Structure 1
Amino acid sequence: MSKLSKAERDALPDDAFALSGRRYPIPDAGHARDALARASEFHRRGELSDEEYETVVHRARAVLGE
């Protein structure tokens, strides 16, 4: 996955993120797959609520066409 620079991240529209607060960028398939992995990790550690996790999964899978 390519890393987004600050300028690239700042240029993304709000709907290119899975969660409000511009968290979990999902502008492309690579970032969507990474968002799924990171959300799973944070959810297991209790740092992401069930609702937030489901939102990331739903939005990332939409980007992946699943």
Structure 2
Amino acid sequence: MSKLTTDEREDIPKSKFALPEERKYPIEDKAHARNAKARAAQQAKAGNLSAADKRKVDAKADQVLKGR
């Protein structure tokens, strides 16, 4: 998984983010979905992400991982 440049990140449609209103946790493919779940878990454990937002990230990432 390569790191996205600012321009590449801006080109991703909002629908490809787990938290589209904040444009956080891009999940354009399975690698990004797995990474989003891991980072969301870290942030939730550190107190930087609400339980509700973590559930949103997990649900959206699970859709990508299951091929939907």
TM-score exceeds 0.5: yes
- Give the equivalent residue in structure 1 for 2:33: 32
Gaps of 5+ in 2: none
Task: Write out per-residue CA displacement over residues 8-63 of structure 1, whole angstroms, 9 at most, x where no aligned residue.
Answer: 11101001100021011111111111100000000011110010000000001111
- Give the equivalent residue in structure 1 for 2:60: 59
2:11 counterpart letter in structure 1: A
Matches of 1:26 and 1:52 in 2, distance apart? 15
* Structure-2-length-normalised TM-score: 0.90
2:60 counterpart letter in structure 1: R
Matches of 1:47 and 1:18 in 2, distance apart? 16
Alignment of 1:1-66 (within 5 A): 1-19=1-19, 20-65=21-66
Secondary structure in 2 aligned to 1:35?
A: helix
Structure 1: 4+ residue segments shifted above 6 A: none
Matches of 1:65 and 1:2 in 2, distance apart? 22
2:16 counterpart letter in structure 1: A
Give the share of equivalent positions with the same residue, in percent: 44
